[in-house]
Amino acid sequence: MALGLLSSRRKLVSRVLSYPFSLASLHSHATSFVKEDEKSKLVGNVFTNVASSYDIMNDVMSGGLHRLWKERLVGKLSPFPGMKHLDVAGGTGDVAFRIFDSINSVKRRALRKVDEASLEETQIFVCDINPNMLNVGKQRAAERVTHIAFGIRNVTHIEKALTEAYRVLKRGGRFLCLELSHVDIPVFKDIYDLYSFQVIPNLGKLIAGDRESYQYLVESVRRFPPQKLEYENLVGGVVAIDSAIKL
């Protein structure tokens, strides 16, 4: 994997997913530019409108880098046969398929001496609020014979989502969150802001026929809380992977 293309920085601070959470500020960030009672409907409409062109737009907007970001997420997860994995806001199943491929790869099976019986115990679940996105994922799964990535920013009550993540994790379980984040390199930040507000919405109009949804995208990224504690920045903070362990 060409990780040399990823400008990454790690902040080596120990972080655990502990309870109770101190997340009062997250809710205000998540709803600061959209009324609380309107956000769920808005997010639902956004992904209903762009579901069929979602993966193409990801390629265009990121220049294909989203594929490397997702590979890096899976690499940090280190999937293994027999694991139980929940992909929250999994949409079209892009990350879930990568996890499946990683577990089921000939190379990994040879290294770990995995047999077919143990592979059958592996369970990967994808959940999403939007049926259109899930239908695209089902079609892809059918064609292939069959954490949360870029999703928590669209949750109305982030603190409730993290509380639920804590509840379903077993002790020692890992929580990983791949999300568009905050650039911390001054000159690059100006270029990224220009690209985000002037180019991305117009690409959305040209390719997906929906400028407003991608205007919402760039605005929601700017209002999302910055990286904290244990995280890894990719491409100077355009994307970050936050991680935690349940004690």
DSSP sequence for 59-108:
HHHHTTHHHHHHHHHHHHH---TT-EEEEET-TTTHHHHHHHHHHH-HHH
In angstroms, the CA 162 to CA 157 distance is 9
Say yes or no to pLDDT of 205 above 80. yes
* Residue found under tokens 């990983």: 176
Please give the average per-residue pLDDT across 113-138, as a whole number.
Answer: 70
In angstroms, the CA 103 to CA 95 distance is 13
- Could you tell me the pLDDT band of residue 4, with boundaries at 50, 70 and 90? very low
In angstroms, the CA 32 to CA 25 distance is 11
Say yes or no to pLDDT of 5 above 70. no
Pairing mode of beta strands 123-127, 84-88: parallel
* Residue found under tokens 């502990």: 18
Extract the tokens encoding 32. Answer: 């600061």
User: Which helix (H) or strand (E) covers residue 126, if one does?
Assistant: strand 123-127
Q: Considering only residues 103 and 235, tell me which one the structure prediction assigns the higher pLDDT.
A: 235
CB 90 within 8 A of CB 96: yes
Closest among 132, 157, 161 to 37, alpha carbons compared? 157
Say yes or no to pLDDT of 134 above 80. no
Please give the average per-residue pLDDT across 216-225, as a whole number.
Answer: 84
- pTM flag (> 0.75): no
Q: What percent of the chain has pLDDT over 70?
A: 69
CB 156 within 8 A of CB 40: yes
What is the predicted pLDDT for the residue at 202? 93
In angstroms, the CA 33 to CA 39 distance is 9
